[in-house]
Amino acid sequence: MSTILLKNGRLIDPSQQIDRVTSVLLKDGVVASIDAGDASADHEIDVTGKIIAPGLIDMHVQLREPGWEEDEAIASGAASAIAGGFTSIACLPNTEPPLDTPAGIEYVRHQANRADKCNVYVIACVSSGRKGEQLSEIGTLVEAGAVGFSDASKPISNPELLRRALEYTQMFDKPVLNRPELVELTHNGVMHDGMVSLVLGLAPLPVEAEEVMAARDICLAEATGGRLHLMSVSCSGTIEILRRAKVRDVGVTAEIHPCNFSLTDEALRSFNPNCKVNPPLRSADHLEACIAALADGTIDVISSGHAPRASEKKMHEMTDAPFGMVSLETTLGLTSTKLVQPGHLTWSQAIEKLSTTPARILGIPKGTLAVGADADVTVIDPELNWTVDPANYLSRSSNCPLSGWELTGKAVHVIVGGVVKM
């Protein structure tokens, strides 16, 4: 395998608390040395003015294969991840059939290996068939390679099932990922419950649906000692519940999607179905609370929430169109533009939430550029201005309302296992 020297870049590695200009040598698929300015290599890349970061990791991606290939395939999703700067992704089990068997996990891994793009990890079903009734075969799925357990977009409504999942997964040190939503409060809802929904006459998704479920989930995590990861938080009330739980050292982490710190419910006035996401775009006060929670560490992770849906599915009225937005290729740009450039986060904080912390939660040997670590690297140009154009996405879907947005900050080189992918 060839050697690669990344010369004169700003190495930001939160796992080692490094932030300085230096050079990094990659050899035989691992990080051979840092401060390697005098080293010779088969391939040298001048990254002056760029950021050398541990490969970005997205722990919330819908790949839709098998079953929904009209939305996304494993190969196209992995290619989209590389374009967005991600070297590793964890895919959710909302496929058809759901990923609740070792054979299902093996299928995803096989297709990912064939695609030969980024690393693809599998988050398997908490419940058999995602029906929320019986626990899946947790131990067998761990042996097959599952790195976490979730029913994806279906919240775990049964508290006894969640309690047992939190207890059982402790045997394998795996997290349970749950989307906090009390479905009895969101039935037929379309958008955030507020003045805009009242004016537009669209059915509401109240914040209480998220807050009540988050409180229940945290209570069960505290009682069992299990590892809970709250997916897709969006409300100020949820953040206050999280903040108090962290003071008590409850084993809970949380993530947010870029749309929930970049857009408000005002975007729904366009009646663009691509603005229909779940959790919904909230009002400005919730958005500000989320940004503050990112800054103070209450929210641990930024994940794309990539939810591709074929154009024909989105070409309906708001009430009938499915939820979802593609975002693998804009997550880094939105993080830079909406969080780093205004000074809410430093680059080190952003990279920690996009790489180091997801690796720690999933228990995968990534998220660091320590000597001997896998040579997964994302090189970021923090000053690169670019325009969002969904027509150029590598994803199979283009359901994104950001067409024409001007963003600053983009991945310019992506290296996976010592191989240049972009």
The CATH number given to whatever domain includes residue 142 is 3.20.20.140
Quote the CA–CA distance of 375 and 367 in Å, as a whole number: 10
Structural domain includes residue 422? no
The number of folded domains in the chain is 1
Residue 330 CB burial class (10 angstroms; 0-12, 13-18, ≥19): buried
Question: What end-to-end distance do the CA atoms of the chain give, in Å?
Answer: 17
Structural domain includes residue 410? no
Going along 299-376, which residue ranges are E strands?
301-302
Say what the pLDDT of residue 1 is. Answer: 64
Say what the pLDDT of residue 60 is. Answer: 98
Structural domain includes residue 20? no
Judge if the upstream peptide bond of residue 159 is cis by omega within 30 degrees of 0: no
How many CA atoms lie less than 13 Å away from 196 in the CB half-sphere? Answer: 18
Structural domain includes residue 132? yes
In the numeric block, which tokens belong to residue 252? 């809970």
Among candidates 61, 123, 118, which has minimal Cα distance to 302? 61
pTM for this entry: 0.97
| 251 alpha-carbon distance from chain centroid | 19
Task: State which residues form the domain around 304.
Answer: 55-367+386-404
Structural domain includes residue 18? no
376-400 in b/e burial notation, b at 16+ Cβ within 10 A? bbbbbbbebeeebebeebbbbbbbb
Structural domain includes residue 362? yes
* 195 three-class SS: helix
Structural domain includes residue 14? no
Per-residue pLDDT of the chain (422 residues; tens, 9 = 90+): 689 999 999 999 999 999 999 999 999 999 999 998 888 999 999 999 999 999 999 999 999 999 999 999 999 999 999 999 999 999 999 999 999 999 999 999 999 999 999 999 999 999 999 999 999 999 999 999 999 999 999 999 999 999 999 999 999 999 999 999 999 999 899 999 999 999 999 999 999 999 999 999 999 999 999 999 999 999 999 999 999 999 999 999 999 999 999 999 999 999 999 999 999 999 999 999 999 999 999 999 999 999 999 999 999 889 999 999 999 999 999 999 999 999 999 999 999 999 999 999 999 999 999 999 999 999 999 999 999 999 999 999 999 999 999 999 999 999 999 999 99
Structural domain includes residue 232? yes
Say what the pLDDT of residue 2 is. Answer: 83
To the nearest 10°, the Cα dihedral for 20, 26, 31, 34? -30
Quote the CA–CA distance of 374 and 363 in Å, as a whole number: 14
Is there a contact between 123 and 90 (Cβ–Cβ < 8 Å)?
A: yes
